[in-house]
Chain A
Amino acid sequence: MSGRGTLLQSRQRQQRLAQAVAYAILTLGAVMILIPFVFMLSTSLKDKDRIFTRSIEWIPRKQIRVEVSGKTVKLFRFAKSLGDIYAVPVEELPRDRVRVAVLTRRPAETVDPRFLRTTRVVDWNEPNFRFLLYLRNTLAITVLALVGQVLSCTLVAFGFARLRFPGRGFLFIVLLSTMMLPAQVTMVPLFKLFVSLGWYDTFLPLTVPAYFATSAFFVFLLRQYFMGIPIEMDEAARIDGASSWGVFSRVLLPQVKPAVATVAIFSFMGHWNDFLGPLIYLGNPDLRTLALGLYAFQGEHSVDLQLLMAAASVVMLPLLALFAVAQRYFIQGVVISGVKG
């Protein structure tokens, strides 16, 4: 009896020690996950002069506003090898180009128009992270695609899970095997197809395919859920005279809500974070998504780093918020993808 007691005690002590070590390592790991974010946030809040000391040519610097003939405009400063050059915009041109007037003197708060040298067009994008515009574009694409994906994948999953028809097994295997196909195989022909449909510089290539159950994984996941619901429920409804549509919409759909939520969240994440799609199909700066806008922001001309980090943080924020609210569904989706696969 006493021997058993000491065994238990030593086991408990061992377990406690193991837990302490586990805590230490886990905390260290969590800190290492979070440090990059801290660094990014602290950079985004810093004054630019503390970040970089070297000046690179044609870096647009801090935005100062000056007054020219009673109008408030942005002052641009370009670092050139022979000292800084200042300019004010006089005309906005298409494609983010601006006609600027170069100043012949160091600017004061009010610029005397006499000191403006002949204007010239600068082939230079104003480093402007148009968050609200990008947000609207991203939301439009994400919501349109998400709705399509949830609708079509749920319908198809129901068909495969609950209705018997010749060739069902074969077609389902075909569907599963498309998961193995790298998207690059169809990338070029799809580009050709969408361009010839006149869909370049529209959201259509990024949203329309979602309405045709193009994500085999989502169909698979939803089908698994449908299969878990007792078939007696369908039969009872059918005896009461329900059609297939009735069984689907009134009986089964309410049952698979958790799976639908998981699919919706993963679809949201996929489209919100998508980079290659917008990169290929959206050339017009006004159509940029957050991801593409952020990429363009660092773009051909380096932008002030604290602005870039601020933009990166802002782009991450909506997903962090979503994760905080719907963590359960994220985790659920990952678990299903990994364990049942």
Chain B
Amino acid sequence: MRRGSLLRREAIDGYLFISPWIVGFLVFTLGPMLFSLYASLCDWDMLHTPRFIGLANYATMFGHDFRFAKSLSVTLLYSAMALPLGVVASLGIAILLNQKVKGLTLFRAIYYIPAILPGVAVALMWKWIFNPESGAINLLLAKIGIQGPGWFTSPEWAVPALVIMSVWGAGAGMIIYLAGLQSVPTQLYEAAELDGAGAWGKFRNVTLPMISPTVFFNIVMGIIGSFQVFTTAFVITGGAGSPAYSTLFYVLYLYQKAFKYFSMGYACAMAWVLFVIILSLTLVVFVTSKRWVYYESERRG
């Protein structure tokens, strides 16, 4: 009897402790989600009441909106370049840092700095560095006899410039990989050496399998992240996604639809499509991960 009342007391306490989240979830997540789903089926400018139009927003999106298609392709192009380069750069740096180098803390700090800084300040800094006439990069290129491209003023070079920025800022990934590498048991390397494995052999057969879960997790996060690129492109192009829509990232276009054209229904529909894209990409990575991600617990079990 006493035990029962104690359990009831504990349950009540439990609900009390998590009540901030329950309220927050209902008011700031679930409610807005449901409303957003409904709004995505409406023509809505936020001033008038939403007018139900069925799937028309979605039909426009996939039927006649060339800017929607453009924003998808810009985002995919960026991800296709930034993700692999980011993984290679941050994993490479992490492996080097793991060679028991002195000054690890200093190096780690320097590489991580870009990740902590405000996106607006970083974007303005790079905009100036990529300035076609007077920016550092093109001045340096000119010194070795190369005529630098127009970067953010050129439809072809705007995304590569953003990719360079993203590799520069890949320090957070590096720290995660480094932690993963440091947790690989040294006996595995010693055993591999006894078997005559060289540096590449050790990397291929010990390091890579052992940190594949970390790589996997980072790729998933990277996909989600690159579909959320906003501040950089917004600040550099003043919200326009210019030139010639070459930096019209998905979320930037969504923002324009909502707060520039006040097509709130359309923006909600785009947000749901984004949700579906992120979910399915994550699912794809999850499903294929069975082939290349090595979980130690699986073998033990």
Contact A40 B176 (CB under 8 A): no
Interface presence of A30 (CB below 8 A) = yes
Task: Tell me which residues across on chain A come within 8 A of B32, comparing CB atoms.
Answer: 185-186, 189-190, 193
Contact A168 B100 (CB under 8 A): no
Question: Which positions 291-341 of chain A face chain B at CB distance < 8 Å?
Answer: 291-292, 294-295, 298, 305, 308-309, 312-313, 315-316, 319-320, 323, 327, 330-331, 334-335, 337-339, 341
Q: Which of A22, A23, A331 contacts B175 (CB 8 A)?
A: A331
Closest to B118 in A: A273
Contact B258 A188 (CB under 8 A): yes
The docked-state distance in angstroms from the alpha carbon of A335 to that of B181 is 12
Interface presence of B111 (CB below 8 A) = yes
Query: Scoring B residues 33 to 72 as 1 if CB is less than 8 Å from chain A, else 0, what string do you get?
Result: 1011001000000100000000000000000000000000
Question: Which positions 138-193 of chain A face chain B at CB distance < 8 Å?
Answer: 152, 155-156, 158-160, 163-166, 168, 171, 174-175, 178, 180-193
Contact B13 A174 (CB under 8 A): no
Contact B17 A334 (CB under 8 A): no
- Among the stretches A116-124, A212-220, A253-261, the one at the interface with B is A212-220
Query: Scoring A residues 196 to 224 as 1 if CB is less than 8 Å from chain B, else 0, what string do you get?
Result: 00000000000001011110000100000
A212 and B217 in contact, given A316-B117, A320-B113 (Cβ under 8 angstroms): no
The docked-state distance in angstroms from the alpha carbon of A331 to that of B99 is 19
Task: Tell me which residues across on chain A come within 8 A of B25, comparing CB atoms.
Answer: 174-175, 178, 212
Interface presence of B126 (CB below 8 A) = yes
Interface presence of A230 (CB below 8 A) = no
Interface centre among A187, A272, A279 (most CB of B within 10 A): A187
The docked-state distance in angstroms from the alpha carbon of A35 to that of B113 is 13
Task: Tell me which residues across on chain B come within 8 A of A125, comparing CB atoms.
Answer: none
Q: In the complex, what's the smallest C-beta–C-beta distance from A9 to chain B, in angstroms?
A: 15
Interface presence of B141 (CB below 8 A) = no
The docked-state distance in angstroms from the alpha carbon of A6 to that of B270 is 65
Q: Which of B21, B111, B173, B251 contacts A29 (CB 8 A)?
A: B111
Interface presence of A276 (CB below 8 A) = yes
Q: In the complex, what's the smallest C-beta–C-beta distance from A270 to chain B, in angstroms?
A: 11
Interface presence of B11 (CB below 8 A) = yes
Interface presence of B282 (CB below 8 A) = yes
Interface presence of A45 (CB below 8 A) = no
Task: Tell me which residues across on chain A come within 8 A of B120, comparing CB atoms.
Answer: 273, 275, 291-292, 294-295, 312, 315
The docked-state distance in angstroms from the alpha carbon of A275 to that of B180 is 32
Task: Tell me which residues across on chain A come within 8 A of B27, comparing CB atoms.
Answer: 212
Task: Tell me which residues across on chain B come within 8 A of A64, comparing CB atoms.
Answer: none
Q: Which of A155, A280, A294, A313 contacts B20 (CB 8 A)?
A: A155
Q: Which of B46, B107, B128, B278 contacts A182 (CB 8 A)?
A: B278
The docked-state distance in angstroms from the alpha carbon of A36 to that of B39 is 44
A185 and B235 in contact, given A156-B20, A309-B128 (Cβ under 8 angstroms): no
Interface presence of B157 (CB below 8 A) = no
Query: Scoring A residues 208 to 250 as 1 if CB is less than 8 Å from chain B, else 0, what string do you get?
Result: 0101111000010000000000000000000000011100100
Task: Tell me which residues across on chain B come within 8 A of A137, comparing CB atoms.
Answer: none
A330 and B128 in contact, given A30-B110, A156-B18, A178-B29 (Cβ under 8 angstroms): no
A175 and B111 in contact, given A192-B46, A244-B13 (Cβ under 8 angstroms): no
Task: Tell me which residues across on chain A come within 8 A of B7, comparing CB atoms.
Answer: 164
The docked-state distance in angstroms from the alpha carbon of A155 to that of B136 is 49
A22 and B99 in contact, given A188-B258, A212-B24 (Cβ under 8 angstroms): yes
Nearest first, the 9 A-B pairs at minimum CB distance are A212-B24, A338-B176, A159-B17, A165-B14, A163-B14, A189-B32, A186-B32, A244-B13, A165-B11
Known: A22-B96, A185-B268, A338-B175. 8 other contacts (CB 8 A): A22-B97, A175-B25, A184-B274, A186-B32, A192-B264, A309-B128, A315-B118, A334-B112
Of the A-B pairs whose beta carbons lie under 8 Å apart in the complex, a sample of 15, sorted by A's number, is A26-B96, A29-B111, A40-B129, A164-B10, A174-B25, A180-B224, A185-B36, A185-B271, A211-B20, A212-B27, A244-B14, A275-B119, A337-B176, A339-B176, A339-B180
